[in-house]
Structure formats: C-alpha cells, structure tokens
Amino acid sequence: MGAADIVPGVSGGTVALVLGIYERLIKNVHAGAHVLKEALRGRFSEVGPAIRKVEWVWLVSLLVGILAAVAALSSIIERLLHEQPVRMAALFFGLVVGSVTVAWRLVRRKTATEFAVMLVVGLALFLVLGLRSNTEAAEDAAEVVTKSPWIFFGAGAIAICAMILPGISGSFILVMLGMYTEVLGAVNDRDFASLGAFGLGCIVGLALFSTGLNWALEHHHDIVMSAMIGLMLGSLRVLWPWPGGTTTTDLAEPAGDVLVPILLAVAGAALVITVELVATRLDKNPAT
C-alpha cells in the first residue's frame, strides 16, 4: 500500500481492495476515530471499550508495512518511473485493470444501477484528471511556505482521503491543490505550525471520511464498491503509457516503444488475477 501511493494513478486503497482487506481497514479506521471522538467529548469511561474494538495488532502491523515499503521502495519506483516512464506506466495500467476485474467480483448484486454508478464515477474522475496536464510539480517550483495554516489544514483533510480511496494517490491530490511544494517547503523549513495544521487536517479528515464511508459500506455496499471501481477506471487516464507515462494526463496513440509496454500491461493484469484466484482457492481449501 505504501509503494502504491507513490504512483499518481494508484493508491493504497486499490491494493487493500485487491487483497480483500479494504472493508476491514475502513472498520478499524472508523473504530479508531470513535476512540478520538469519545476522548474529545470527555467521555473517558467509554474510551476503554472503544479502544478494545480496534484491532491494534493488525492495524499497527499494516502501518509498519506501509512505512517500510515507502522507505525501501519509493526511491526505486521513482527512479524507474523517471527512467522507463512508458513501460512502468504500462505495468501499473495492467495492474489496475486486473484490480478492476477482481474488485467487480466483490459487488454482490450486479444490476444496471451498480453498472451506471461505476461508469458515471469513472467518467467524472477521467474528466477531472484532465483538468491538469501534469501530475507532478514543476522541477523549478520553489519549495517554500506561502499559505496559511488553515490552507494546510484543508489540504491535509482532503489528501488523506486518498489513503482509503482507490484510484488516486495523496501526492497527486496535493499537486492538483497546488500544495505539494508547500508541504515539502514546510518539511524543509521545519515549519512545525504548518506541518501541525496539515497533520491535524489529516486526522480530522480521516475520522470524518472513514465514519461516512463505513456507514455507506454497511448500508449501500454494492453502490459504494461500484463507485470504487469507477475511481480505478477513471484513474487509468493517468496510467495510460503514451505519450509520457504517469507524468501527464494527456492521451496519445501508442507509438515508439509499444510491444514491451503491452506485454508488461498484460503481465500486470494476469499477475493480479492469478494472485486473487490462488487466494480464493486457499480460502476455500484451508490447510488442515
């Protein structure tokens, strides 16, 4: 999940969806938000029972894995995206296409409504992503803080949603908001006021969004899952290999390096589907 957030058209939510832990993740994040809510309301007698509802070992293990992946793989993936943009974009394109086929199986009742929601959400994200041609901040952009803490708070609240939504990374959201270099500037300058506001925004945004998403999954599961699939479909605009890989949302016909990218895309889709089939068989036939 950590490595996936590095790529503009992929997110940790996509990986969680494919691995079958998405709903478990949302429930635990929602339970953690409930702990915070009770503490802020001063109902400390309810904090203990609320804490026990969170699968802390599972959640912390997941968080450690995400951080470890970011630390170990981010530089490698970023270098490959820079040196082999078309081929890497094709690989991730195939991985997401395979993820879409896997996620569609999670929709229990496949009616015209679910199909329409998937198409509408996918088209909407496809068009929104086209509002900005570049997915990365300009190389010569100054990494300085010019915004107020309230802007950092809002950016954090919005960007954190990418952690639990498939289809778009948090870094790309910051780029679209014009806050990517601002956050980097705050880190470089050790501007703890701005960073604190950003972190607080992440906490509040995650708490509110996870609460709403958990309720939606419980009461409108198939509609929500269809919308998630639509997000993944819309994100394919960023991952379309031509003309420049994941650095642009512009679209062009395949040209130049074509055969290898196509093979990588097919291999990526096949890998995801194969992993899901193996996992399904293992679930049906557990070792005794």
Q: What is the pLDDT of residues 197-241, one digit of tens each?
A: 998 998 888 888 888 888 888 889 899 889 989 988 998 888 899
Give the per-residue pLDDT at 288.
Answer: 46
CB 135 within 8 A of CB 175: yes
Domain ranges, ordered by start, for the chain: 4-284
Per cent of the chain over pLDDT 90 is: 18
Report which listed range, 16-20, 43-47, 68-72, 189-193, is most confident.
189-193
pLDDT at 124 over 90: yes
pLDDT at 278 over 50: yes
pLDDT at 106 over 80: yes
Helix (H/G/I), strand (E/B), else coil: 41: coil
| pLDDT, mean of residues 16-28 | 81
115 vs 125: CA distance, rounded Å: 16
| Nearest C-alpha neighbor of 205 from the set 151, 160, 174 | 160
Contacts of 98-102 with CB under 8 Å at 24 or more apart are 98/18, 98/268, 98/269, 98/270, 98/271, 98/272, 98/273, 99/14, 99/17, 99/18, 99/166, 99/232, 99/272, 100/229, 100/232, 100/233, 101/269, 101/272, 101/273, 102/17, 102/18, 102/272, 102/273, 102/276
Map tokens 């679930």 to a residue.
283
Give the per-residue pLDDT at 9.
Answer: 63
Mean pLDDT check: name the lowest of 111-120, 129-138, 230-239: 129-138
| pLDDT, mean of residues 170-179 | 77
pLDDT at 263 over 90: yes
Grade residue 284 by pLDDT with cuts at 50, 70 and 90. Answer: low
Mean pLDDT for all residues in the chain: 83
pLDDT at 139 over 70: no
Grade residue 90 by pLDDT with cuts at 50, 70 and 90. Answer: very high
Grade residue 16 by pLDDT with cuts at 50, 70 and 90. Answer: confident
Give this prediction's pTM: 0.79
Read out DSSP for 193-219?
HHHHHHHHHHHHHHHHHHHHHHHHHHH
212 vs 30: CA distance, rounded Å: 9
Mean pLDDT check: name the lowest of 11-15, 33-37, 134-138, 211-215: 134-138
Amino acid sitting at position 103:
A
Grade residue 261 by pLDDT with cuts at 50, 70 and 90. Answer: very high
Mean pLDDT check: name the lowest of 41-55, 164-178, 194-208: 164-178
CB 201 within 8 A of CB 160: yes
Map tokens 């512009």 to a residue.
250
137 vs 247: CA distance, rounded Å: 10
Grade residue 142 by pLDDT with cuts at 50, 70 and 90. Answer: low
Give the per-residue pLDDT at 178.
Answer: 79
Contacts of 28 (CB under 8 A, 6+ apart): 54, 55, 58, 59
